[in-house]
Every structure is written in structure tokens, then in C-alpha cells.
């Protein structure tokens, strides 16, 4: 006969596993803790509804060798999560009539390929330009030369094709139109207005300011980009904290950054059931209302999702590569949906 006390303990343990928290925060905490315990995550997570943060958590080390842990103020390279921020900067310049959505590459560059010269800012924002991803690891000497060398692979207006080069070109256009650097434009047009006090544009000497990157969540081997980060300005060189990205979300939601018209453009399906301006779009619960972007760079991964109907925000930043943050984000979103 089975010991009734042991049976009761087993039942209680199973119940705890199935119901790990009494409220939303505890349930999210359980999920994040579980991923960290399984060596599937290190970094920071922030979850918010409208202007209220309902969960913040930090896992792992910002510098494992020195024992310095990640905290809610730790900065991370956000890689391709830079693109929505760049898109906001571009849309603000459009609002100011510095540039226009239908401006063409040929207005800013000496483009040899006639079809490429007709590519518009709108197409660059939506990854529908057809321009191949020409970003390399060598120090850049002439962006125009790189652009023209990509002509052989150019396939104009054949649908959506994600490419970092489009956002690098957007940054170059903004620089030519204003005479300012990407760092200056992002500081003036995004960081300062949104109150992102701990964000910036990274260069190779940033290592002491941001969390050290690692090849895995085990954090045994440190790594960093083996190319000049200015090569991906506009597409992947921003660093930020989770709380700064919460401030960015708030500034978008409350109209501090963009007009209603520009917000409508950003969160319209410019590419049906796929992409807006700087954001992918996803269907959840029968509605195409979740906009997201992820990032992957040597030593770092990132993921941010925004539900524009319920104002739910999930930000996940990690100082480890080769981590599928979409699984963690999906599990957190399930808790938010169940607890509506």
C-alpha cells in the first residue's frame, strides 16, 4: 500500500508545477526562473500593461568572470531591435518634411542600376526594395560603392525580403539630409524625447558600459562583434536597458514620438500579414495586433513585442547568443492572455 503522506506530497508538488503562481507576476517569474534554471536564458525581462510594469527580472551575469550580475539597469546591445527605433527617427524626419516617404535612392546616391535608383524610403522601411544584404565585416570606406556592387543581386519589387542593408541606407539618407550622425539623430529624435537616459549607439569601445556578451547562456565564453559596429548603424548598433525600451513604448503609445498619422502608418500592415514600418506583425487570438522585432548579434539576443490593442509589452534582452527568445516571449504572452 502506498504511503498516503507521500501521495499527498506528490499531488501537492504536481499542483505547484501546474499552478506556479497566485498572480500574473508570480506566474511570469516562475517562467523566467525556469528558463534560467534550464540554462536557456540569461539577461533581463520586463513586462508591462500600458504605463504599469507588472514584472521585472534579471538573470545571470553582466560579467561572469568578476561575478557582476545583471540588474534592471544593465545595458545590452539590442541588435536588430534597433530597427523600430530607426523607423521612428525616419518618420519624425518625414513629419518635419526633411525627407519624404517617396524619396528615391537616386536623390541621395549616384546609383548605377536604374531600378535601384527608383527605390523609395517606403520600400527601405518595409524590406520591399529588393536590394540584397550587402553589409560586410570590413571597415566601410564608401557606402555608395557597396550599394552599386550589390546591383547584380538586385531583384526589384519582388515582395518582402528582410535585409539589414535597407536600414543602413535609411540612416545614410537621414545623415545626408540633416548633416548629422546616426548617434546625433537618435539622441535628438528618439532617446531624449522618450526619456531613454541609458541608451545610445555602440562602438567597439562600448564593452565596459554594456553587459559582456557570451556564446551561450552558460556564460563560459565571452564574445563580441568582429566587425565595426558603425557598419550596421540603423540596423543593429543601438544599446539600451529594458526600462528604456519601456519608456520608448510609452512614448509611442502616448504620442510623444509620433503623430497619430505616423503611428497609423507604422502599425499598418504595409506588407500584408507580415510587416509594418520597423515591426513584424503577428496574429494572436484572431487579431493581427501584435507587433514584434527580434535581434541577434554576436554575444546578444533581443525580443520586444507590443500588443497595440491591449497595450501589453514584453521586452527580453540577453547577453548570450544562440538563444530562442521567442519561446520565452510566447510563454509570457500566454500568461497575459489567460489572466485578462
Residue 336 cell numbers, joined: 497575459
List helix spans (H) across the chain. 4-18, 24-37, 82-95, 114-117, 121-126, 143-149, 164-178, 182-186, 192-194, 242-253, 260-266, 325-338
Q: What's the pLDDT score for residue 155?
A: 60
Does the pLDDT of residue 36 top 70, yes or no?
yes
Does the pLDDT of residue 246 top 80, yes or no?
yes
Q: What's the pLDDT score for residue 8?
A: 46
Pick from 126, 120, 161, 167: nearest CA to 143: 167
Q: How is residue 45 annotated by DSSP? A: E
- 238-258 average pLDDT score: 98
Does the pLDDT of residue 10 top 60, yes or no?
no
- CB neighbour list of residue 206: distance below 8 Å, 6 or more residues apart: 77, 229, 239
Q: Which residues pair with 313 in a beta bridge?
A: 48, 306
Does the pLDDT of residue 237 top 60, yes or no?
yes
Q: What's the pLDDT score for residue 322?
A: 87
Pick from 240, 4, 300: nearest CA to 249: 240
pLDDT in tens, 124-183: 999 999 898 999 999 999 999 999 988 655 565 568 999 999 999 999 999 999 999 999
Pick from 1, 208, 201: nearest CA to 89: 201
pLDDT in tens, 84-124: 999 999 999 999 999 999 999 999 999 998 889 999 999 99
Q: How far apart are CA 195 and CA 158, in angstroms?
A: 39
pLDDT in tens, 186-221: 999 999 999 999 999 999 999 899 999 999 999 999
Q: What's the pLDDT score for residue 99?
A: 98
Q: What's the pLDDT score for residue 24?
A: 96
Question: For 136, phi and psi rounded to 5 degrees?
Answer: -115, -175
Name which of 68-72, 242-246, 297-301, 334-338 the model is least confident about.
334-338
Percent of the chain with pLDDT over 70: 91
Pick from 210, 206, 203, 192: nearest CA to 89: 192
Q: What's the pLDDT score for residue 207?
A: 87
- 227-239 average pLDDT score: 98
Q: Are strands 52-59 and 43-49 parallel, antiparallel or unpaired?
A: antiparallel
Q: What's the pLDDT score for residue 267?
A: 96
If pLDDT is split at 50, 70 and 90, which confidence band does 338 have? confident
Q: Where are the domains of the chain?
A: 25-32+41-62+74-338
Name which of 36-40, 48-52, 114-118 the model is least confident about.
114-118
Fold entry, domain 25-32+41-62+74-338: Beta-lactamase (3.40.710)
Name which of 10-14, 81-85, 200-204, 274-278 the model is least confident about.
10-14
Q: What is the mean pLDDT of the chain?
A: 92
Q: How many residues make up the chain in this entry?
A: 340
Q: How far apart are CA 180 and CA 185, in angstroms?
A: 6
Neighbour tally for 149: CB within 10 Å: 13
Q: What's the pLDDT score for residue 22?
A: 84
Pick from 202, 210, 208: nearest CA to 231: 202
Please report the beta strands in 221-298, taking only residues with DSSP state E, as ranges in sequence order: 222-223, 238-240, 280-284, 287-297
Q: How far apart are CA 121 and CA 169, in angstroms?
A: 9
Q: What's the pLDDT score for residue 275?
A: 97
Q: Looking up cell 497595450, which residue turns up? A: 311
Q: What's the pLDDT score for residue 1?
A: 47
If pLDDT is split at 50, 70 and 90, which confidence band does 285 have? confident
Does the pLDDT of residue 308 top 80, yes or no?
yes
Rg of the Cα atoms in the chain? 21
Amino acid at each position: 500500500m502506498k504511503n498516503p503522506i507521500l501521495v499527498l506530497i506528490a499531488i501537492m508538488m504536481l499542483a505547484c508545477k501546474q499552478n506556479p503562481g497566485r498572480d500574473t507576476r508570480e506566474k511570469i517569474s516562475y517562467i523566467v526562473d525556469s528558463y534560467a534554471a534550464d540554462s536557456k536564458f540569461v539577461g533581463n525581462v520586463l513586462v508591462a500593461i500600458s504605463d504599469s510594469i507588472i514584472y521585472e527580472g534579471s538573470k545571470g551575469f553582466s560579467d561572469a568572470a568578476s561575478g557582476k550580475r545583471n540588474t534592471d539597469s544593465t545595458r545590452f546591445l539590442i541588435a536588430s531591435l534597433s530597427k523600430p527605433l530607426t523607423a521612428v527617427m525616419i518618420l519624425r524626419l518625414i513629419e518635419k518634411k526633411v525627407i519624404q516617404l517617396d524619396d528615391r535612392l537616386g536623390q541621395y546616391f549616384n546609383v548605377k542600376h536604374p531600378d535601384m535608383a527608383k527605390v523609395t524610403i517606403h520600400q527601405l522601411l518595409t524590406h520591399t526594395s529588393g536590394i540584397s544584404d550587402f553589409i560586410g565585416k570590413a571597415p566601410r570606406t564608401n557606402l555608395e560603392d557597396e550599394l552599386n556592387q550589390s546591383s547584380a543581386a538586385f531583384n526589384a519589387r519582388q515582395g518582402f525580403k528582410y535585409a539589414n542593408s535597407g536600414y543602413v541606407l535609411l540612416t545614410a539618407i537621414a545623415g545626408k539630409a540633416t548633416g548629422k550622425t546616426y548617434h546625433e539623430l537618435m539622441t535628438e529624435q528618439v532617446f531624449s524625447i522618450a526619456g531613454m537616459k541609458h541608451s545610445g549607439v555602440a562602438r567597439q569601445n562600448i564593452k565596459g558600459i554594456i553587459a559582456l556578451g557570451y556564446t551561450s547562456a552558460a556564460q563560459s565564453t565571452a564574445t563580441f562583434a568582429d566587425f565595426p559596429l558603425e557598419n550596421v548603424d540603423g540596423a543593429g548598433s543601438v544599446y539600451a536597458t529594458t526600462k528604456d525600451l519601456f519608456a520608448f513604448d510609452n512614448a509611442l503609445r502616448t504620442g510623444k514620438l509620433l503623430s497619430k498619422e505616423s503611428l497609423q502608418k507604422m502599425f499598418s500592415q504595409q506588407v500584408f500579414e507580415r510587416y509594418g514600418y520597423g515591426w513584424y506583425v503577428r496574429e494572436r487570438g484572431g487579431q493581427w495586433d501584435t507587433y514584434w522585432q527580434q535581434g541577434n548579434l554576436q554575444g546578444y539576443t533581443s525580443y520586444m513585442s507590443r500588443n497595440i490593442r491591449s497595450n501589453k509589452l514584453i521586452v527580453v534582452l540577453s547577453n548570450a547568443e544562440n538563444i530562442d527568445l521567442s519561446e520565452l516571449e510566447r510563454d509570457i504572452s500566454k500568461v497575459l492572455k489567460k489572466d485578462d
